[in-house]
Structure 1
């Protein structure tokens, strides 16, 4: 795929303009976005991603379009898994609901910049050393096994956020306040001294945490396409809709109980695909004498795309069925349904109110009878 320089420049300029519009126009007024607002923005981002994929199909062919759609869906599904950690971060730092949108927005901008650097480094390594695919594939399979064990072992509600070294260094190096009185400002004055606000810590937590997730997602998408331009755009479209997903899905995220298992299968499949491609392009002297193993089968992109869609669909349906079954079993296992005690209390209050409103002579009349 030949991407001219002017297209790179135009793409970066358009993405930067969209992000600046988000930061300085949509994000200038702290508020909790409505479902209509988030749904409209998310629909716009998804539409743009689909149109971009169709444009790739028109100008470069179905092979590259399939690679983009497979990479985009993979990045999107892995980004949804990020939201669980984002929820934990917001809860740990007690971020007010109206400030969460601004924190997510700036955190995502940082994540995009860091991922772009990751992509450039990864692309350079792949072009220089084909055996890097062995490392990527082995790492993805290891991550898949680890994720599967964690998902089967305990639920997401038991997860706790542990601050990384950067956050601990910032908190020790710079005086900070725990108060959210400054709103979305990054610095404020407390007791006559300039201090950083909790917003700084939260933004750094979101950005650096996403970078850790990129250790999985970047190798995964390079297993689907070797084109840096497609890798970058798949990450852009996945991350730009992440903020809307955070507010739109809400409690639905906790219903995706099998998401970790589905993602582990997805990463495992891509890891196997990477190793097969590494064997097919082998250059390591201790494997087949440094000769390519052309007899090794390759997984075509149409099969990869089919597997990705199938795995995500099965994961979503199975999760919703399991959550619905648990909701139906919960009332019987925990006694009366919520609201039953309130109804009894209300009936008691109504009875007391009737007794208090009764005529004063009603009691003496009953005794006389």
Structure 2
């Protein structure tokens, strides 16, 4: 099953590359919407396949994990926007950067998932740590959402800094080339650096997303496939909702509620495994809470953004009228 799944995912990635990503170009909203729909449909078909061949429990765990990982990946797009701006990536090359960066992230996450599955199967008490970490992360998200930050900047991680320091690079892009030879020296291009930035930065997001999905299922197969389907549609989602990211002003609050909820679920599960008789939260309840929180926060975000836009438009008209009266 693992072998067939990996072969199937590689085939889907190859089709995605040769149809939509082989030739550098600006991705239109229509193209991004079509491919986003394709990846969501494929994830839905996979979940229904689990329902038919494995039963309702694995299928429910997959859908809960996929929705959770997808919602967390939307938050990652904010950082991807900062990375693209910092490295001044031309628009026609952004899809290639995201494609390779997401593949790097998928490989690194597979390593995290394998390690997490081994730890979870050996030490039941690790659920206490996962649960506490998710609750702390939820609190940090609330604090960050309440902070009034005018400017956000991308800060390179240590691995990326070490690569840039050890290997010389050019100061401009050379199409989609990763390495070039200049004056007899092999140099990296900014294309390779920004791909590494996207891929390695995602590891930081995996520190909360991997424990979160292990709170919904302990099956490493479902954990991996939910992560894979959530990540592989991330490139198209970047272009589809890039302009809407600033309007999702309450997304961090929604994600904090979801992470906190899963953290409590993990602690209850750990207590149950320790022999303490406590109620456990079922997958249907988890799926319902996750969907409800995302729906509410999306609706309130769009309402708040529209209200703020109307207020700014009204204040702009007021200033224009005041200027006209002064001129008179």
TM-score by length of 1: 0.84
Cα distance in 2 for partners of 1:242, 1:251 equals: 15
Q: Counterpart of 1:224?
A: 216
Helix, strand or coil for the counterpart of 1:194? strand
Contact 1:177 / 1:190 at 8 angstroms: preserved in 2? no
**Correspondences of 1:210-249 after superposition (within 5 Å):** 210-249=202-241
Q: Counterpart of 1:307?
A: 289
**Correspondences of 1:15-164 after superposition (within 5 Å):** 15-154=9-148, 158-164=151-157
Alignment counterpart, residue 253 of structure 1, candidates 232, 245, 266: 245
Cα distance per residue 1:204-226 (max 9 Å; x no partner): 11001111100000000000011
Cα distance in 2 for partners of 1:56, 1:20 equals: 24
Q: Which has the higher contact order (CA 8 A, sep 6+)?
A: 2
Cα distance per residue 1:279-328 (max 9 Å; x no partner): 0001xxxxxxxxx10x2111111110110000000110000000000111
Uncovered stretches (5+) of structure 1, i.e. residues with no partner: 1-6, 283-291, 339-369
Cα distance in 1 for partners of 2:249, 2:42 equals: 29
Cα distance in 2 for partners of 1:36, 1:214 equals: 30
Distance 1:192 1:231, change over 3 A: same
Helix, strand or coil for the counterpart of 1:188? strand
Once the two structures are TM-superposed, the CA of residue 110 in structure 1 deviates from its matched residue by 0.4
Helix, strand or coil for the counterpart of 1:158? coil
Q: Counterpart of 2:188?
A: 196
Cα distance in 1 for partners of 2:71, 2:319 equals: 35
Q: Counterpart of 1:276?
A: 268
Helix, strand or coil for the counterpart of 2:241? helix
Cα distance in 1 for partners of 2:15, 2:49 equals: 24
Cα distance in 2 for partners of 1:204, 1:235 equals: 19
Q: Counterpart of 1:209?
A: 201
Cα distance in 2 for partners of 1:322, 1:25 equals: 38
Helix, strand or coil for the counterpart of 1:95? coil
Cα distance in 2 for partners of 1:32, 1:138 equals: 43
Helix, strand or coil for the counterpart of 1:334? helix
> Larger deviation: 47-56 or 85-94?
47-56
Helix, strand or coil for the counterpart of 1:179? coil
Number of residues of Structure 1 aligned to a counterpart in Structure 2:
321
Once the two structures are TM-superposed, the CA of residue 336 in structure 1 deviates from its matched residue by 7.1
Once the two structures are TM-superposed, the CA of residue 25 in structure 1 deviates from its matched residue by 4.8
Cα distance in 2 for partners of 1:21, 1:336 equals: 54
TM-score by length of 2: 0.94
Helix, strand or coil for the counterpart of 1:145? helix
Distance 1:270 1:189, change over 3 A: same
Alignment counterpart, residue 296 of structure 1, candidates 252, 274, 278: 278
- Alignment RMSD, CA only? 1.6
Once the two structures are TM-superposed, the CA of residue 65 in structure 1 deviates from its matched residue by 1.2
Uncovered stretches (5+) of structure 2, i.e. residues with no partner: 321-328
Q: Counterpart of 1:359?
A: none
